[in-house]
Structure 1
Amino acid sequence: MTPMIDMLGGWIYLTLFALVFMETGLVVFAFLPGESLIFFASTLAAITGSTLDIRILIPVFFFAALIGDTVNFEIGRNLHRLPLFRRLISAEKLAKAQRFFDKHGGKTVVFGRFIPLIRTFIPLISGSAKMNYKRFSIYNLLGVLLWVTSGSSLGYFFGQIDYVQEHFSLIFIGLAALTAVPGLIMFLYRFMKDRATPNY
């Protein structure tokens, strides 16, 4: 990230905004590492000092995620207009989703934000399940606030540790590799399951 920061200068904040917005607002970009991005950018803010400012990073991440979720929710609210959606999702399944979000929507929106991949789909499903917009907005605001402040605070604290400052590149590579482990395990599990399933 450091060469990218040096190259972009002040435009780095717009780039980070766009990446977090895309991960939270557009389901096709659910693979983007929003959580890791917040953590490592905040860590770099502690290490570099003047290059990245944590006081700017936090509102950038906050509004990117908040606006992204709102756009995603609106897309979900209008999915029923697509013929393909009506073919894939039966009225019975939609009614079941609506009952679930009426009962557990608030908790799902808040805590689902901390689960990679899942967090991108929750606003979309909330909208398609006709969750009350005001209720969604309140819980989404809370979820985004907790997500951004916890990730930024942990990253900034992490970056103030002397050992981290001295070996940041190695630690960055190690943590990046660790974040790929769950996805790799899931891929291997599905691969083995498919091989074990007999073909008739």
Structure 2
Amino acid sequence: MFQYLDPLFLIQTLGLIGVIAIVFAESGLFFGFFLPGDSLLFTAGFLASQGYFSIYYLVIGCVVAAILGDSVGYAFGRHVGPRIFVKEDSLFFHKDHLIKTKMFYEKHGSKSIVLARFVPIVRTFAPILAGVGEMRYWQFLRYNIIGGVVWATGLPFLGYYLGKTIPDVDKYLLPIIAVIILISILPILFEYRKHGKKHSNRNF
């Protein structure tokens, strides 16, 4: 089952179109939070350096998918509104993820649309919350484009650069992916720890 979350397996199985589709789903569809994002883009960039597909098609496709995905999430949030906070947990929806994203959004404001690009789970729910909070669309779109371009360009080109410049880098691909995943989830771990401490203090 876990192989379906392995970026290397997904790319080799689904190809370029599959990568673009996953980026779209993970960017703004609330059931896409469990899909790989950062590691997928990095691995796709590395495979592009090995001739699997064009790095330029990859980057252009992923930038467009990221921006459109966030826009769909925003539209969903505008349509559903605050009702989303009373939605019951299910296989593809966990209210706790929404609450953590709300805390992130309240802390960083509008720029959270850019920052969230680099934080798994938060990345998926941030545009939805922007819609729920009725952020002006043109303001949202500006941050959406900035975040989408930086995220969907930076990670693939990092993988591409390492694949082109470091001999036998494929031997270290899995450890590099593990480091990227660890770095990307650190903000979530810090937020959970901080939230846990506040909750404990309130109990005393």
**What is the TM-score of this pair, normalised by structure 2?**
0.70
1:79 lines up with 2:80 in the alignment: yes
Task: Find 2:135's aligned residue among 111, 127, 131.
Answer: 131
Equivalent position amino acid for 1:131 in 2: M
2:60 maps to what in 1?
A: 59
Greater shift, 133-142 or 72-81, is seen at 72-81
Residue 149 of structure 2 corresponds to 145
- Check 1:63–1:87 CA distance in 2 against 1; reply closer, same or farther (3 A cut): closer
Per-residue deviation, residues 49-93 of structure 1 (Å, max 9, x unmatched): 2x21101101111111111100000111112274x64689xxxxx
Please give the secondary structure, in 1, of the residue aligned with 2:120.
Answer: coil
Q: Name the residue aligned to 2:69.
A: 68
Residue in 1 that maps onto 2:38: 35
Q: Percent identity?
A: 33
Matched residues in 1 for 2:19 and 2:70: separation? 16
How far apart, in 2, do the equivalents of 1:144 and 1:87 lie? Answer: 28
**Cα RMSD over matched residues?**
3.6
Residues of 1 paired with 2:53 and 2:161: CA distance? 15
The counterpart of 1:157, out of the listed 157, 161, 167, is: 161
The Cα offsets for residues 6-54 of structure 1, whole Å up to 9 and x where unpaired, read as: 665xxx22111111111112122212111111111111111x22x2110
Structure 1: which amino acid aligns with 2:37? G
- 1:91 aligns to what? none
Supply the distance in 1 between the matched residues of 2:13 and 2:118 (Cα, whole angstroms): 31
Residues 1:87 and 1:156: Cα distance change in structure 2 (over 3 Å): closer
Indicate the residue corresponding to 1:104 in structure 2.
109
Amino acid at match of 1:160: K
Give the Cα separation in 1 of the matches to 2:150 and 2:181.
Answer: 24
Q: Which amino acid aligns with 2:134?
A: K
Q: Which runs of 5+ in 2 are unaligned?
A: 1-6, 89-101
Which residue of 2 is the match for residue 122 of structure 1? 126
Contact conserved, 1:80 with 1:86, CA < 8 A, in 2?
no
Report the AA paired with residue 56 of structure 1: Y
1:145 Cα shift?
A: 0.7
1:26 pairs with one of 25, 29, 32: 29
8 A contact 2:42–2:159 mirrored in 1: yes
Q: 1:144 to 1:3 in 2, by over 3 A?
A: closer
CA contact (8 A) 1:23 1:120 kept: yes
Alpha-carbon separation, structure 2, partners of 1:39 and 1:177: 11
- Greater displacement, 66-75 / 31-40: 31-40
- The higher radius of gyration belongs to 1
